[in-house]
Amino acid sequence: MPGYQDFVPQQRFQRTLALSPDGRLVAYSSHASGHYDLWVAPVAGGEPRRVAGFDNRTVRQFAWTPSGDQLVFSADENGDEQFRLYLVALKNGVPTEISSGPDCQRILAESPFDPTGRFLAYTANDRDPAAQDLIVHDLETGKLRRFTPPEGVAFEAVSLSPDGRWLLSTGFRSNTDIAIYLTDLNDPNAEPGCVTSALGEGVFEPGAWAADSSGFHLLTDHWSEFTAAAFCDLEAKSLHTIADPGWDVEALDVAAGVRIWSVNEAGRSRLHAERNGSPLPLPDIPPGVISALLLAPDASLAVVLIDSAARPAELAVLDLVHHNFRYLTDTRPAALRVIDPIVPELITYPASDGRDVHALLYRPDGPGPHPVLLSIHGGPEAQERPIYARSGLYQHLLHQGIAILAPNFAGSTGYGTAHQKLIYRDWGGIDLDDLNRGILFLQTLDWADTNRLAAMGASYGGFAALSCLARLPYSWAAGVSICGPSNLVTLAKASPPTWKTFVATVLGDPDTCAEHLLERSPVTHADSITTPLFVIQGAHDPRVPQAESDQIVTRLRERGVEVRYDIYPDEGHGFTNRANELKAYEAISAFLHTHLIAADVDNPEPLRVG
C-alpha cells in the first residue's frame, strides 16, 4: 500500500501570484526547495528559476517593480508573522532589505508601486503594536509618509492608482465589516477618507483600478448576502454592479477592456469574463478552486492557481486567444499516477434550526463499514472546498479506508453574510450543534461506522475538534488538534494587538465576556475527554500561542489520558518548513490508522442524541 509520502505533492504554493509588466513571467512562492522561496517561471512554458529565499524565512507577498527588472517581497522568520521587506534584482540579484526599525507586521499592498517605481505602499504596526498605519516609502530618500487609522480600524494598503495620485486602502473591523479609504497623495495635508461610510456596514474590498484612474473595481456584499463585483466611479461618486450571481464573487481582474472573475458556487470556482461589456467565452477548466487569478496586461491570457480534490494546486494558463487551458506546473505525486483519487460528494444535512448544512463527504472505495474522520476547517470564517487537502493527507486516509466528513457549519463563508455571522460570539455553540448534526447524519449511512469516529482540525478547527471530544457524547476513537485554542479567555487576551476590535466582535471581549468564553472553552470540559489525543503546536505561533496547547495537554496528562504532544520550535501558525509539514501529516496519518483501523476496538451501540 502506498505510504503517506507517495501522496505528497511535489511542491506547494503561497496563494498569490504576480505577473511581470510585460506579461511574460509569473512570480510565485513555492517550497520546492524545502522553504517558501520566491520563484519566476515563463508564462509560455519552460524551467522556473529561484530568485530569492532564506533558510529560516518564508516569502509571503511579492510584486514587480514597474520596470520589471526587480521584485519587492516580504518574509517572516519561522512563521512569526513579523515581516521584513526586501528588493531583489531579477537577474543574479541578492535580496536587499528596505525595511527599517523593529520587527513588526509589514503588509505589502497588492499593487504597491507608483508608475515611477519610486514610491512603495504598505502597512505596518511599527509605531504602535496595536495600530496598523498606512505608509508610503520613498525608495530614493528613505523617507516614510505615514497615515494613522481611526480608533478600532486596522488599515491595509491595497494599491497606488495608475497616475500615482491615490492610495487605496481598506479599514478592517471584522471579516464582515471592511470599509474603503482613499488618500490624495497630491495633497501634503491629506488624511485617509472613508468613501463607503454612507453605505453602512458591510464588506467593501477594493481591487483593480481603471487604467485612467477614474475609479476602481471592488467586491462587496452591499446589495445582498453574497459578494458582488462592482465599480466605483470617483467623479460621479457612484457604485454600480458588474456581476451579482447569487454566490460570492471571489476574485476579479481587469486589463485591456477585459474583466474576468471567479464565482464560488457551492465551493467550486467558476470563471466568467466580458470584453467591453459583452460576454467573453472561456476555455474549460478542471473542476476545482481558484485561489489566485491574474490577467496579462494585453488580456491575451490569464494565469491562475488552481487546486482540486483529484490534483494538487498548480499554476495554469488560460489562453484567451487560442481558447485553451494548460498547466505550467506538474506537482502530482507518485500515488496519483497509479490510483484514482477520491472526489468528494457535495451533500447537505439539516441543522437544528432548519438550515441546511453543506458538507463534503469522501467515501473510500469498498463497501465498508468505514471509520470516519470529522475534519473541521479553520477560521471559523473559511470554507471547506474540494481541494487536494493537507498535502495529500485526505487521499492517503481514504486509501486506507477512512472516510472523511468535512462540514461547512455556521460561521463558514460562501453561504451568505448572515450564515457567516451566526458564529459571532457563539464559538462552541451553534457551530458545535452543526457538527453534532453531522454525526447524526453519518449514523443514517449503512457504510459509515460511527463506533469509530475521530475529530481533527487546525486553529479554530483544533478548538472545535477539542470541543467535540469534550462535549459531544460519542465513543470517539481519536482526536487531533493542530495549534488549537483550548481556553478562549487566554486566547483573546493573547491575540495580536491589532486584532483587538476583531476579537471583541467575532469571539468576545475577554474583559466583559470572560464567564461565557470560559464556559465554551475545551479546557473547562477537559475532564470529559478520555480518547487518545494528538496535539501539534508551533512554538512561534503569534495567533494561537503555545500556552493554549500546553493547557489542554497538562489537564489530560494529569488524568492519565493518552496524549502525544509535538512542538515545532521553528514554526508559527501552521507550517512553513516542508520537512516539518510532512513529518506532522505522516504522524497524523499513522496516529489515525492506529486508532481507527489497527486497534481492536469494542463496538458498543453508538450513543444517539436528538
Q: What is the pLDDT of residues 491-542, one digit of tens each?
A: 999 988 888 888 898 999 999 999 999 999 999 999 999 999 999 999 998 8
pLDDT range class, residue 600, cuts 50, 70, 90: very low
**What pLDDT score was predicted for residue 419?**
94
Pairing state of beta strands 533-538 and 476-482?
parallel
Rounded Cα distance between 331 and 334, Å, is 10
Give residue 232's Cα distance to chain centre: 27
CB 145 within 8 A of CB 133: no
Q: What is the pTM of this model?
A: 0.88
Q: What integer pLDDT is reported at residue 610 of this predicted model?
A: 29
Residue 605's pLDDT is 39
Q: Is the CB of residue 143 less than 8 Å from the CB of residue 121?
A: no
Q: What is the pLDDT of residue 527?
A: 96
The string of pLDDT tens digits covering residues 119-170 is 999 999 999 988 999 999 999 999 999 999 998 899 999 999 999 999 999 9
Separation of alpha carbons 461 and 536, rounded Å: 13
* Closest listed residue to residue 357, CA positions, set 342, 377, 341: 377
Half-sphere exposure of 440 (CA within 13 A, CB side): 17
Q: How far apart (Å, rounded) are the C-alpha atoms in residues 426 and 405?
A: 23
Q: What confidence score (pLDDT) does residue 65 get? A: 97
CB 292 within 8 A of CB 26: no
Summarize pLDDT for 86-99 with one digit per residue, the tens. 999 998 879 999 99
Distance CA(380)–CA(413), nearest Å, equals 8
pLDDT tens profile 550-565: 999 999 999 999 999 9
Opening angle at CA 275, ends 269 and 277, nearest 5: 95
Burial class (CB in 10 A: 0-12, 13-18, 19+), 477: buried
What region does 404 belong to: left with phi over 0, alpha with psi -120 to 50, or beta? beta
d(CA 147, CA 132) in angstroms, rounded, equals 9
Q: Which CATH architecture has domain 342-598?
A: 3-Layer(aba) Sandwich (3.40)
The C-alpha cell at 208 is: 483593480
Mean pLDDT, rounded, for 272-294:
94
pLDDT at 608 over 80: no
* pLDDT for 432: 98
Assigned C-alpha cell, 214? 477614474
Which amino acid, 543? R
Give the three cell numbers for residue 389.
487537502
Model confidence at 176, pLDDT cuts 50, 70, 90, reads confident
Which amino acid would we find at residue 365? D
- In this structure, the number of other CB atoms found within 10 A of the CB of residue 539 comes to 15
Output phi, psi for 207, to 5 deg: -135, -130
Looking at the predicted structure, is the pLDDT value of residue 371 above 60? Answer: yes
Q: What nine digits make up the cell of 329?
A: 506546473
Nearest to 449 by CA among 596, 254, 292, 242: 596
* Residue 419, H or E segment: helix 417-421
Show the cell assigned to 192: 485617509
For residues 14-35, give the mean pLDDT. Answer: 94
Task: Give a three-class secondary structure readout of 522-591.
Answer: HHHHHHHCCCCEEEEEECCCCCCCHHHHHHHHHHHHHCCCCEEEEEECCCCCCCCEHHHHHHHHHHHHHH
Whether the predicted pLDDT of 101 surpasses 90: no
Mean pLDDT of 182-197: 96
Check: CB of residue 168 under 8 Å from CB of residue 158: yes
User: Residue 406: what are its φ and ψ, rounded to 5°?
Assistant: -125, 95
pLDDT band at residue 251, thresholds of 50, 70 and 90? very high
Please check whether residue 453 is in contact with residue 374, taking contact to mean a CB–CB distance below 8 angstroms: yes
Share of the chain above pLDDT 70, in %: 98
Please say if the pLDDT value at position 604 is more than 50.
Answer: no
DSSP E strands: which ranges in 351-469?
Answer: 356-362, 370-376, 403-408, 448-458
* Local structure of 336: helix, strand or coil: helix
Q: Quick one: average pLDDT of 205-229?
A: 96
Nearest Cα neighbor of 396 from 583, 600, 585, 596 is 585
- The CA distance from 418 to 228, in Å, is 15
Give mean pLDDT, residues 328-356. 94
Q: Assess whether pLDDT exceeds 70 at residue 37.
A: yes
Beta-sheet pairing, 96-97 with 84-89: antiparallel
State the average pLDDT over residues 208-234.
Answer: 96
C-alpha distances (whole Å) from 484 to each of 42, 365, 375, 474, 544 are 40, 31, 13, 21, 7
Span 435-439, average pLDDT: 98
Q: Is the pLDDT of residue 469 over 50?
A: yes
Residue 56 has pLDDT above 90, yes or no: no
Indicate whether 78 pLDDT > 90. Answer: no
Q: Give the residue carrying C-alpha cell 472526489.
A: 343
Mean pLDDT of the chain: 93
Mean pLDDT to the nearest integer, 297-306: 97
- Yes or no: say if 483 and 549 are a contact pair by the CB < 8 Å rule: yes
